[in-house]
Amino acid sequence: MKNLATIQSDDGWDDAAAENAERVIKGTLLKYSDWKWTKGKEGIEVAEGISLMALATAAGWVKWHDGKPLEYLMRQPGKKLPERDELGDLDKTKWELGPDDQPKDPLQNTRFVYLVDPISAEAYTFVTASWGGRQAVNDLAEQIQRVRYRNPGASPLVELHAEPWMTKFGRKSKPFFKVIGWRGGGPEAIDRRGGGPRNGGPPPALVEGSTTTSRTMDDEIPF
């Protein structure tokens, strides 16, 4: 009779997780628009302030056609994202029309943030192609970088919020990741809600994704 360790090693779950890791969208899709966070294709509203572990991020150009993504052109590790004019499809007469009846660029500069519920290990992918969304991702990245100077490998526990943003079109909103604690990376990691040290580390559910290469997509991302 096989022992428990042997059964767990060949039960197929590791292989299934590895297969899913190759997808750009992992778990439930998260979006942000007009002061609201929503999840899934149905656009179910997410309560502001929900806390999730932010495990990884990725950047790429998403090519769209007929309202569906055709291809991800992902940034490679250690390299800059290609400039728009390097990617072709520059003839605006061939672009599809957007909601404003104007030609819309089929290539969208997009950011992906991979998150996981620290209790249930449910996976989420936040996807944004807006300037405000990309800035929110960059702001979080800078905060992570500062913490990792003294605590390599730390991952933030974040709350999903909205914050005001002044644009040339007036007062708008943008997403905001409020860091409320840090997990992993060393015994000095702090969970601010509890006020003490934590070092449980994030669940190993979503750590791939920032190294995905260009590929044809079958995921729908209804921005």
Per-domain boundaries in the chain: 8-216
Q: Give the pLDDT of residue 180.
A: 97
Pairing of strands 123-128, 28-33: parallel
Considering the entire predicted model, what is its pTM? 0.76
**Tokens representing residue 169 in the block:** 């079109």
Q: Residue 204's Cα: distance from chain center in Å?
A: 16
The CA-atom distances, in angstroms, between 83 and each of 30, 61, 65, 123 are: 26, 10, 20, 31
Least confident window among 59-63, 83-87, 117-121, 200-204: 200-204
The C-alpha atoms of residue 114 and residue 26 are separated, in whole angstroms, by: 7
Residues 6+ apart with CB under 8 A from 153: 184, 185, 186
What number is the average pLDDT over the span 98-110?
Answer: 93
The CA-atom distances, in angstroms, between 162 and each of 86, 115, 122, 149, 167 are: 34, 17, 22, 28, 15
What number is the average pLDDT over the span 137-159?
Answer: 96
Reading phi first (left if > 0) and then psi (alpha if -120 to 50, else beta), residue 50 is in: beta
Q: Are 22 and 212 in contact (CB under 8 A)?
A: yes
DSSP state of 103: B
* pLDDT band of 7, cuts 50, 70, 90: low
The C-alpha atoms of residue 38 and residue 46 are separated, in whole angstroms, by: 5
The C-alpha atoms of residue 134 and residue 197 are separated, in whole angstroms, by: 31
Residues 51-63: pLDDT tens digits?
A: 999 999 999 999 9
